[in-house]
Structure 1
Amino acid sequence: MDQAEQLRNIIKKNAACQGQPTINNQNQTGKIARVITVTSGKGGVGKSNISVNLGIQMSRLGKRVIILDADFGLANVEVMLGIRPQYNLADLMFRGKGLSDIITKGPENIGFISGGSGIHELANINRDQILFLTQKLYELDELADVIIIDTGAGITDSVLEFVTASSEVLLVVTPEPTSITDAYALLKTLNRKMDISSDRTVIKMIANRVDSYEEAKQLYTKLNLVVEKFLTVKMEFLGAVPQDPNVSKSVMQQKPYSTLYPNSSSSKAVLELANILCNNVTNKVHSSNGITGLFSNLIRLKFKK
């Protein structure tokens, strides 16, 4: 029995002890959501924009998508969607709200859960609180086919923990030298400090704001040469999103460019990324054990002796 299965059994037992109905979900049906974590070495590279638009394009491909804004203390996803949720993750954790209360409906049938703006309680949650949060988020595996986790940017403890706990990671990089060096710094820190394994974690690079596909491949090759030489983590190339003036226009209007400008080069590029992801579901990636597996990994990493 793996750790995620043990955690599910704990959750079921806790629910039964509290007189709550247990959830007849993936343990009987085999249904486990695919969890995709989107991250970057620095801010300002378009990570949250890609998370939102990737979610929309995957929804158009028939997937039930929920985006979890794990950039605790900020509210990038809700700002980009131009939607202010009534409740957020802190309300689930500390104020007695249920999962259905904090899932806000977004465009194209996506749902999103806000980490909240200026909420510091979530930045340093303890083991019992993570277990409680896992119990509450358990139903997401039943409600979604894909859960996209939009992490914070940079090399903070919370970002490192989320990335290391994930089985499928999308790393957003731009051609800017600072983006490249910070992306490598993130990978180097993961390689040195965290319990990350290429057998369990797949890291796929997205080249954002490039002038051509050739530039994107060169960007990947440049970064990957250093990664292969000095690190043991493995990185694959997923694809590219071109420089597009419609992206900044959509940000100003607080609407995703996939909905405002569906025929733009950026929208078409993210649709291609969504198609690649949807058509390339490897067993290694899908063995992630859903959201419960991710949080069980968080517990293991955060509190291992």
Structure 2
Amino acid sequence: MRASRLVTLLLLLQNRGRMTAGQLAEELEVSVRTVYRDVEALAAAGIPLYGAAGHAGGYRLVDGYRTRLTGLTPDEAQAAFLAALPGAAADLGLGEALATAQLKLRAALPAELREHAGRIRERFLLDAPGWYSDADRTPHLAAVAAAVWERRAVLLRYRRWRAPEEIERRVEPYGLVLKAGRWYLVAGGPSGIRTYRVDQILALRPLAEFAAPEGFDLAAYWQDHVAGFRSRLHTGEALVRLTAEGARRLGVTPTSDGWTKARVPIESIDHAHGEFLRLGTDIEVLSPPELRDRMAETVRTLAARYDDHPARTPRT
């Protein structure tokens, strides 16, 4: 553990230049006293660093010195592929490995590229989850990830939406996908390749290793899975009239400055009813008749409710 910390300290000084003992202690999550001991150990090992006291003081490496300790461990290499999603790396238990991998990658870059990489990190951030959803609780995510890394089959106890609601199944994990802040396991089982929500896994027990199917492509499978999901989702169609704003919000190309007629796919009458109500006066449903009647009934109910509201301000 200390050896890893010493390497990290050295890489921090190489990447950032002068740093105080307090800054190093905060980065390494140790005490300032521990930083003093680590600096002494590095100096005793022949690392050319020096410290200066005072307001502008701190530790730094002698100008021109560069360490060659930039090889990545397996965990760090895995974490590097999740560099754009630090939250995902942390979920998988690779947060510390990601931080060390990024330090090593920056240390291996020429000075001008290190500066460019630093500007990117300062100015761009990818935050995958949506605004109105909390992160799912995924207590078994680390175990699932371990099974994926090790190509180890697992026995799942899983909650699903149809009866029986709880099932137990042996599956072979092929990969993990993070979609809109939610983790999905892609795994082979008795009925072929299936997708499981990791937050719905109730229990998991690792089994023997397995051989992955030859030629399986996780990205290609997921693309087909998403396309199939969308085709099953939109099983109907509605004919609507839209204002320019309504067309914009539904992603429809307006045909004029006035109203635009369009046919839009819908999942169901109930779902379309709720979605179209969000557009307010920017939409009129023409068909199917059942959906138009539902919209009209809702509008009448709302109009009556607001018209009879006791707290309405009287006109003067």
Question: What is the TM-score of this pair, normalised by structure 2?
Answer: 0.21
The structure that has the greater radius of gyration is 2
Question: What is the TM-score of this pair, normalised by structure 1?
Answer: 0.21
Structure with a larger share of its residues in strand: 2
Q: Which protein, 1 or 2, shows the higher relative CO under an 8 Å CA cutoff with sep ≥ 6?
A: 1
